[in-house]
Every structure is written in C-alpha cells, then in structure tokens.
Structure 1
Amino acid sequence: MKKIPLIICLIPALFIGLFYGITAAASSLNDEVQSDEKEGVVVAVINGSKIYRAALDLEVKSLTAHLLSLGDPVPKSDEPEIRKKALESLINAEILYTAGLKAGYDIDAALIDQEIQQVKDQFETPADYQKMLESIHFTENQLRRHFKKGLVVKNFVEQEFEKKVIVTPRDIRQYYTDHPEKFNRPEEVKASHILIKLDENATPAQKINAKKEIETILAQIKAGKDFATLAKALSQCPSNSDGGDLGYFKRGVMEKSFEDAAFSLEPGQSSGIVLTSFGYHIITVTGKKLESTVPFEKAEKRIQRHLTLHRSKALLDKFVDLQRQSATIDIEKQPEA
C-alpha cells in the first residue's frame, strides 16, 4: 500500500500549473458578482474583484493533492501555510486574468461550453454532476467563470511568456550533462496484492480472524488458484477491481515491509504473508524494470519543455510582482476552514 494516497482532483488549480510545473485547466472565480454568490464568504478583494471562500477551498484541495502526488507529507500543522499559499495563488490569478483580458485573450462562450460538457461526461447521471458541484460549493455559473478565468490566464501565459522564451540545442545538451541524476531510472516492480485489512486498534480476536483469512487465501494460491481472480473476490483494497494490480512503483513509495517483499521477488513469484499498517498482504510480482539511464534523444523534448517553463516562470514572477505593486489588495480575516 502506498504511504501517501494519490488524490486525483476533478478540477485542478491553475496556479499549481503555473508555479509548480504541472498542467492545469482552471483557477478561481471571477469578479462578476452573481446572485448565487451573494451569500458567499469573501476572503480577498483585488482591485474591486472578489475572491470567494469556495474558490479558496478548491485551491487548497488542489495544492494539497499536488503535494501528495509528489510524495510530500501534508501534516495538519501545515494546513495554515497551504491555505496562505493557495490564497496568494488566487490573488496572482486575478491579476493575470485582468492582464489577459486587457491583452485581448477573452474566451468564447462555446469553448467554455465544451469544458463544462467534458466535466459532465465524467459522471453517469446529471444528479452525480450536481453532487460534485455541491461538494465543492459551486454552482454551474461559478464553474463556468472558474473555467473562463483559467483559460484566459492559460492563453495569456502561453502566448506572452512561454512562447517568448528561447531554448537552444546547446542549452538542452548542457542541462542533460549537468544533471545526470535526473535521467537515471530507478529499479521498478509491477505488483498485485491481496489485502485483508487489520485496524490498528483491532482486538486479539480480530487479529486472529484476519490472520486465518489471509492464510486460507495463501493456501489457495499455493494450490494453483488464479491470483487475480482471488484478488477480485477477496481483497479488501480498492485495487481488487483490477485483480489487485498496483502498477509499477519504485522504492520509497510503499511501506518498507511491502517494498522489501515486492523487490525481493522475480516476475511470476508470490510472497508469503506480509504485514503493514493496512493489514495482511500477499504480493505477486508481474513485471520488473532494471535501473537505467534515459538516453539524450528521449530526454531532449522533456528538457526543452522544462527549461521553457523554468525561464517563463521567472518572467511571470517579475510581471506579477510588478502588477501587485500597483494593485489594491484587501485580504479579509478568514473564518476557520
């Protein structure tokens, strides 16, 4: 089991994309005060445009998800700092949105319709879509403005900053030479598992029953029963729907006992019973990738993109700092999240 769960957000935050180097589609609410926002809690006002708590909450979730996906722990003590960074991101987004509109990067309503439809298509029913909106405290009108702002800022940044950056072949080669550690691929294994959960506060009787259950499954595997079939029927991990498949992972991702067992196996081999904080596991390895180095030819485009983003971010930071100097920014005292 992974030490830190991977959270996949439906609507990623724009400024994670701009300032942390990943692709994203949207930002915060815009300055149009609609009737459905009149009861919303205002957390900041930038040049007269309001940022609402719903937008801040979504940005916090997105930033937290980003940190978790990088493998960074997010203890509760870090939440105030994350919230502060999220609000700064939204303020910067508001500044860039205004600049983007002034530069002529407004978005057609038809394009926003497409974005909304893509979100709706991810849900089985309209009711499920409405539940999602309620969970993030948005109406559809707010979501539309959310996407509009994100697209305006995205286009403005791409055209006015990224496309003006020059990265030469020599720059790319030099980066590859100077950073060999970035192009080393660590050993990875592809594994599936069967989990019988064991709560940390389990009683002795519960521990005995869980151990008996996993021992029974192990006996079936040794008798030749299909691992994936058993995982689908008996595993208590969400991966059971995929026959227990966890995909490829490197060292440092799983708990140590799980990792040690998985990396000690060869493809086609299964482990004995492995105990983690989640419970009892049986692991089978289905693939292995040895440590290797990414050749320059395969890394070239990725390096070019990295350098482009890095240099455009420096330009963007300077632009935003300059705009903030002349902006009127009022940050409201925030209620507890």
Structure 2
Amino acid sequence: MKKAIVVLALLLVVGIVAAVVGVHYLAPPRSTSESGTKTGEADTSEVLVTVNGTGITRNQMDHQADLIARQRGIPDTPEQQSQYHAMLDPLALKSLITQILLKQAAVKESIAASLEEVEKEMNEIRQGFPSPETFTQRLQELGLDEAKLRQEIAEGMMMQKLVTLHTRQEVAVTDEDVQKFYESHPEMLTNPETIRASHILIGFDEKDTDETKAAKKKQAEDILAQLKKGGDFAELAKQSSTCPSKQQGGDLGYFPRGQMVKPFEDAVFALKLGQLSGVVETQFGYHIIKKTDQKPAGLPPLAEVKDQIREQMQQQKERGAFENYLTELKGAATITYSDAAKQMGVGQPTDLPPGHPGTEAAPESTPESASEAPVQDNPPE
C-alpha cells in the first residue's frame, strides 16, 4: 500500500512523532493554573466525549489542539491562541475520536507492530537529531521518554496497518480509469503557452548612483556584443550574471505569462525561437534574454500526464476509502457527546452517520462514567 494512505490516516490523528521531530512544536501549551485548569476555563478533567466507553477529557483535547496549532505554526501569544483554538478545538476532538476508533478496531483485529518495526522507526527519528543529547532534550520538552515514544510509534503503526488492510482493495487505479479522466477533464489538464528562456543579469539596486547604473548598462551592452559575435551564452552567464540561474548557464526553465515582471515578459514573448533580446531594464537590473524553447497552449499528450493523473486519482480514492471505513467505525460505535462538545459543533446530526445513536439526544458524559475507561492525560496523537 502506498504511503499516501498512511499519511491520510495520520493527518487525522496528528502524530506525536511529528511533534518530536518538528522544531515548530516548541511552543508551550495553553496557560494553566497550578491546579492544571486553563485560566478562566472549565475543569480540564471534564469528559467531553466517550467512545465505546473510553472517555476524552478537555485536557486531552487541549493537548491535541496545541499539537495542531504548533504543526500549523500558529503564534503562541494568548490572543492568537484564543482566536485559533476556537477553531482548532473541534478538529482536535474529532481527531481524538478517530484515534480511539482506529485503535479499538486494531486491537479487536489483533493488529500490532513488531518490535523490529518500532525500533527501526525509533532509530530513524534519532537520526534526525544532531546528537543523542538533543534527542533526549526534545523528549523531555514534550514530557516524554523513550519508552513512551516507542508506545506512540507502536500505536501509530498499528493504526497504519489497520487502515491499509481495510482500504487495500479499494484504491487501485487502472489504465482505463486514467484514460477516462483524461478524456472527460481536458479543462483540468490544458496547459497555457509556456516559454523557456535563459538570461544574463547585470543587477543593480536603488542605492546605485546614475554613474554606477550607466557602467552596468555598458557592461550588459558589451556582453550582448560578444554574444552577437558568436560568444557562448551559458559560459558568459556563468562568468558575468548576478542571477542565481548563472549556475545553470542562465536557464530559467519554462514559464507562462504572468510569472515574470512585465518588461521581461514583454521582451521574451516577443522573441522568435533562438533569438536574442536587446538590453532589457527591469527593477532587478539589465537583462540579456535568449528564447530557447516554447510550448503552445493546449492539451498535452496522455503519455506526458498519465502519471500525474494516476497519482491524483489514487489520492482521491485513498481519501474516499479511508473516510468510508471511518464512517463504518462510527456507525458501529456507541459515542456520547457532552453539551460542551455539542456547543463546539461536534456530535451534531450533520457530524454523524445516519442512524447513529448520537443523532438522538444522548446523556451528557460525566467524569464518573469515564473513570472506568482508560483515559490518559496525554493521549497518542
């Protein structure tokens, strides 16, 4: 099974392994009082949702929302956190519901990761750090140790295997599928006119005096004269251009209209194939441009785009297969939502499959009813 379906599953559960590796996860969690309650908020031990008897507390939701916020690079100021967590809390709660459903299903089907698989992943994570000390420090910042991280890895792999097992037969894309998509969606595949060009730039900036700019223009004119006498464009670009493209002999690759600054675009699109421009001035400096290839607008041959089509269709089928499987799990589960969860928009009729018990009035979950279930303060993401 392609890794895309694994990514799909883990996008919904926001993996803690990513939190360990990602530098943008260094932001602290939302502020709490000494009792562990968010300042001005409800008790973090409040159970918001129960999934087949397993409770999800407000503290778990907060932890998950923090991970999502850090993953997305949301600033950790109180104002930003207040604004974004109003949107992220429902996403975090749904993510935790998904995690519990997947883990419960995996346990029921006796699906597990081997010690060898877990250790291999553990070693790959370690190798992402410059030293063992920085790896240990990162774990400590997240309140983890190696044993806990191994547990998180094992649970993530367990969910991955479950999703792969239940979607394997639904995501094959045939050549016939690709051909049909190509014929029925030409508007999605048609390319605009593109041009390939190389240039030599003699750059200037706003601090340059008129005399300096005049000298740079004279340099560009001298290079143009050399080119007209048969000079090698790529070699002169490597010697004289101030653009990073000099490393490729001035080659800018293919580009459509609207990508370059207007004076440059007007000049290059007016050229014939293989023709040199004069000295063209833009805000970046003086350019000498050579048009090296062009592709007319139109539908490319199937051979050029079949891999792209197949990949897009594969991703769509994987997404649909995973969502269908998740809907099945939700439909077979007993999920109860507290009033607080419903106020976030989680557990509303539009959020549940048809006929699900949660579409009817459900009793509010309580800490007592959830105390019998294995609730963790920091659940696997």
TM-score under structure 2 length normalisation: 0.51
Structure 2 residues without counterparts, runs of 5 or longer: 31-37, 39-43, 50-55, 75-81, 345-381
Shift of 1:248: 2.0
Judged with a 3 Å threshold, the aligned counterparts in structure 2 of structure 1 residues 117 and 188 are, in CA distance, closer, same or farther, namely farther
Distance 2:280 2:291 in 1: 14
User: Taking every aligned residue pair, what percent have the same amino acid on both sides?
Assistant: 26
For 2:288, the equivalent position in structure 1 comes to 282
Farther off after superposition, 88-97 or 230-239: 88-97
Distance 2:242 2:149 in 1: 36
Structure 1 residues without counterparts, runs of 5 or longer: 1-13, 62-79, 121-125, 332-337
| 8 Å contact kept, 1:195–1:237 | yes
Match of 2:312 among 306, 309, 332: 306
| 8 Å contact kept, 1:188–1:251 | yes
- CA shift digits 1:185-212 (9 cap, x unpaired): 333222222334444xx25x54652353
Shift of 1:81: 10
- CA shift digits 1:39-64 (9 cap, x unpaired): 85126999427348576444349xxx
| 8 Å contact kept, 2:220–2:286 | no
Shift of 1:32: 9.7
Judged with a 3 Å threshold, the aligned counterparts in structure 2 of structure 1 residues 147 and 267 are, in CA distance, closer, same or farther, namely farther
For 2:243, the equivalent position in structure 1 comes to 237
For 2:349, the equivalent position in structure 1 comes to none
Distance 2:88 2:202 in 1: 38
For 2:72, the equivalent position in structure 1 comes to 59
2:233 partner amino acid:
F
For 1:188, the equivalent position in structure 2 comes to 194
Residue 264 in 1 paired to residue 251 in 2? no
Root-mean-square deviation (Å): 5.5
Judged with a 3 Å threshold, the aligned counterparts in structure 2 of structure 1 residues 307 and 267 are, in CA distance, closer, same or farther, namely same
Say how many residue pairs are matched. 278
For 2:360, the equivalent position in structure 1 comes to none
Secondary structure of the corresponding residue to residue 313 of structure 1: helix
Shift of 1:216: 0.8
Shift of 1:157: 5.0
Farther off after superposition, 296-305 or 208-217: 296-305
Secondary structure of the corresponding residue to residue 185 of structure 1: coil
Residue 223 in 1 paired to residue 226 in 2? yes
Answer 1 or 2: higher relative contact order, Cα 8 Å, separation at least 6.
2
Match of 2:182 among 165, 176, 188: 176
1:251 partner amino acid:
R
TM-score under structure 1 length normalisation: 0.56
- CA shift digits 1:88-146 (9 cap, x unpaired): 877766665555555336482344257448868xxxxx59xx8xx99xx9999899999
Shift of 1:219: 1.8
